[in-house]
A and B are shown apart, each in its own frame.
Chain A
Amino acid sequence: MALLAVEEAVANILEHGYRGRPGRPFTVTFRALPGERFEIVLRDRAPALDVTRLVAGDLGRLARSHATGGRGLALVRLLARELRYAKRPGGGNVLTLAFDAEELSRIAQEHTREAA
């Protein structure tokens, strides 16, 4: 589940930050925290853009429409407990996705039950 959010966030960097240009650098760092918490830190050298200030698509509204975009960031927001943004010294972005494993399994259970 956390991977899903990370993948969407990385896709966002590649597509919007780097505009699909290949060979641009980014790093993914995993940091375990006390309890069932962990953080994933994404660092890139793309033009500075604070994605936490962007308005993510509303998943409920998206569900009722045929809108094709705006889901990636909405998924990240749904799954991550917290998003933190910082400009990177020397250019680029640092995006921290904080997760709570218990909360993730609760979200998973909710959506499995609805699907049944």
Chain B
Amino acid sequence: MKRPETPTHLISISRIQSAHAREVSVLRLRGVVRETTGPDFRARLAEAGARSTFLVVDLSELEYLNSAGIGMLLRQARNQERRGGWLRLVSPSSAVAMILKLAGLGESLPVHVDLDEAVRDLPPRAA
């Protein structure tokens, strides 16, 4: 396994409209989540989560995620659910996909292939 060196960098927090006019925030990060970058990661999650009840975390450019980072994702997911929303993960790199698999995240935090798939079943906005 290649040892990642770059710290976590925020690429963007963007908002998209789903087919049902629901607003979704998309958090994209690059680099690694480990001991030193964990607090920043948690702050970015909270920031993006505060913008929308539906939050997608794009993992495609994240090279590494430790178990503390996984705990932060789960905690944020619980926050979103408490507000009637969710947190979903999309397109992890192969290294991160394996870490998620090893940690057995399957049921509590599903991973989607891409953004389209992640937002496909969004409930329609109440009229």
Contact = CB atoms under 8 A, between A and B. Distances in A.
Interface of A: 1, 3-4, 7-8, 10-11, 14-15, 59-60, 62-69, 71-72, 74-75, 78-79, 107-108, 111-112, 114-115
Contacts of B99: 4
B17 interface: no
B120 interface: no
Contacts of B102: 4, 59, 75, 78-79, 107, 111
Interface class of chain B by DSSP: helix
Contact of A68 (B35, B71, B98): B71
Interface string B22-35: 00000000000011
Contacts, number: 71
B19 to A, nearest CB: 28
Interface of B: 1, 3, 34-35, 66-68, 70-72, 74-75, 77-78, 94, 97-99, 101-108
Nearest to A76: B67
